[in-house]
Chain A
Amino acid sequence: MDTARVSWYQWTRSTKEDRVSGHDHDHDHEPGVHGAPLTDTQLRVRALESLLVDKGLVDPAALDTLIDTYETKVGPRNGARVVAKAWVDPAFKQRLLADSTEAIAELGYIGRQGEDMVVLENTPKVHNMVVCTLCSCYPWPVLGLPPVWYKSAPYRSRAVIDPRGVLREFGVQIGDDVEVRVWDSTAELRYLVLPERPAGTDGMSEDALAALVTRDAMIGVAKVKGPRG
């Protein structure tokens, strides 16, 4: 172990006792706007950013672009458009299941954490759901950044050993005659569930269908409800 790493450990240990561990509720405000003292985490982040900017290792405009991309441009509405298109366009659905990456790219959803996509079709006989037990792998270009529950120990630990119990916790009952397939994203493939199209949606437009599709349905922990719920 080199000296830099030893110093680093010593440094983290020296600040640990004061830590508020990120469960503070500063919500979305700029740090310290209400006069509340900054938490250790806020101080660390602020110091790191100013240091990296001072040294020319990051560009502030690039940081703003990155935040704007994942806060406002990339999110589950992208995936919902993929699902709705698959529901109304059989040729697209066929391409989507045969070469998911290329079919999703037709809609412009490409890139980081979605370089190699696999779409899993839910049917009356097979229910697919997705987890990453080892970290928090998630298909960013179609679903955006993952929700807290997806990244948390309860879901990561139980999805593979008790999938039906997890689904019940999300309010989803799966019949005994239905196979449940859990996909553990352990490599660089990223999975998107193509949920079943709900009854009562005949003749609905692609846009109206997309509005019904939820993030959780595309992870496989929910079903898509029809327009009358």
Chain B
Amino acid sequence: MNGVHDMGGMHGMGPIAPEPDEPVFHHHWEKRVLALALATGFLRRWNIDMGRYTIEQMPPAEYLRATYYEKWLYRTERLLVERGLLTAGELASGRPDGRPPGARALPPGDVQAALRGRRAARMDDHLKAPTFKAGDRVRTRNVHPRHHTRLPRYARGKVGVIDRDHGVFILPDEHATSGTKVPSHCYAVRFEGRELWGPDAGPRDAIYIDLFDEYLEPA
């Protein structure tokens, strides 16, 4: 979706302002949100792409105003309600309505193993043959899907070169909606700065973007 989350190349967002000696958390509630988000993720009622897509659907003004952990809170509350694990009434009142819970918490003893899992979005290489190889010239599709995609707006309809084939991964677009794991090769694609931004870009600037087969055509 052409959302406000897709920020690459926007102007007017102000200075970067790094904070010296920044703490891991700025507020007590941020820790709780991190933990609640991860722990409810362990219930496996949604995947990471659904989580990202949920945040992308925040009203744009809210998205821009919200801090990182406020976005996480929004995502967690909304997915819990959409998946039927909580009701909006329960969220508003803070009190259980007596329905049986639709899932069981991950036991504390299993948390470290869950965090240290080494398999996430990668799929077996034999599931799909690559469409491109390193050195191939490609053009990104000029598409504007209304759903979740990881082809940024600033890189649509642009010509680049395949830098490397990372292997087969879950295509995020379909995964974010139906949950279906469509195998797709993911490539690091190199774009010259001037291809993306025109003559004002530095002549020795290059942008590498991880893109899937479905986003690319031969150039």
Q: Which residues of A contact B (CB under 8 A)?
A: 2, 4-5, 7-8, 10-12, 16, 21-24, 26-31, 41-42, 44-52, 54-59, 61-67, 69-71, 75, 101, 105, 110-112, 115-116, 118, 131, 133-136, 144-145, 147-149, 151-161, 163-164, 166, 169-170, 176-189, 216
Given A133-B6, A161-B9, also A187-B88 (CB < 8 A): no
- What 1/0 mask marks residues of chain B from 13 to 50 whose CB sits below 8 Å from any chain A CB? 11111110011111111011111101110010000000
A148 with B68: CB separation less than 8 A: yes
Q: A66, B208: Cβ atoms under 8 Å?
A: no
Contact A154/B17 with A110-B116, A181-B208 known, Cβ cut-off 8 Å: yes
| Given A31-B28, A62-B111, A160:B13 Cβ within 8 A | no
B26 to chain A, nearest CB (A): 7
Interface pair A63/B36, CB less than 8 Å apart: yes
Contact flags B87-117 to A (C-beta < 8 A → 1, else 0): 1111110111000010111111001101111
A163 to B89: give the CA distance in the assembly, Å: 47
With both beta carbons as reference points, the residue of chain A lying nearest to B37 in the complex is identified as A66
What is the minimal beta-carbon distance from B210 to any residue of chain A, in angstroms? 4
Residue count of chain B within 8 Å CB distance of chain A: 104
- Which residue of A28, A55, A118, A163 is within 8 Å of B25 (Cβ)? A28
How many whole Å from B90's CB to the nearest CB in chain A? 6
B85 within 8 A of A: yes
Show 15 residue pairs from A and B whose CB-CB distance is below 8 angstroms, ordered by the A residue.
A2-B82, A28-B28, A54-B95, A57-B40, A58-B105, A65-B108, A105-B118, A111-B115, A111-B116, A134-B8, A161-B197, A161-B201, A184-B8, A187-B150, A187-B169
CB of B186 within 8 Å of the partner chain? yes
Given A184-B209, A188-B120, A188-B121: 11 more A-B contacts, CB < 8 Å: A21-B65, A44-B77, A45-B73, A46-B29, A48-B76, A55-B101, A71-B31, A116-B166, A154-B17, A164-B202, A180-B206
Give Cα A10–Cα B92 distance, bound, in whole angstroms.
Answer: 11
> Which 8 pairs across A and B sit closest by C-beta, in order of nearness?
A47-B94, A133-B8, A187-B210, A7-B88, A188-B121, A61-B108, A111-B116, A157-B10
Q: Are A75 and B22 in contact (CB under 8 A)?
A: no
Beta-carbon contact of A160 and B24 below 8 Å: no
A136 to B114, CA, bound (A): 21
**Contact present for A170 and B6 (CB under 8 Å):** no
Residues of B within 8 A of A75 (CB): 24
User: Does A160 lie within 8 Å of B8, measured CB to CB?
Assistant: yes
Residues of chain B contacted by A160 (CB below 8 angstroms): 8-9, 154, 196, 207
B162 within 8 A of A: no
Closest to A153 in B: B13
> CA separation between A188 and B17, bound complex, in Å?
27
**Distance in angstroms between the alpha carbons of A182 and B206 in the assembled complex:** 6
Asked whether any CB of chain A lies closer than 8 Å to the CB of B7, the reply is: yes
Please determine whether B31 and A67 come into contact, CB atoms closer than 8 angstroms.
Answer: yes
Min CB–CB distance B7 → chain A (angstroms): 4
- Of all chain B residues, the one with the shortest Cβ separation from A13 is B59
A68 to B146, CA, bound (A): 39
What chain B residues lie within 8 Å of A159 (beta carbons)? 8
Q: Report yes or no: B7 in contact with A153, Cβ–Cβ below 8 A.
A: yes
A residues in contact with B24, CB < 8 Å = 70-71, 75, 144-145
Contact (Cβ within 8 A) B186 A189: yes
**Cα distance, A46 to B32, chains bound together (Å):** 8
Contact partners of A188 in chain B: CB under 8 A:
120-122, 169-170, 186
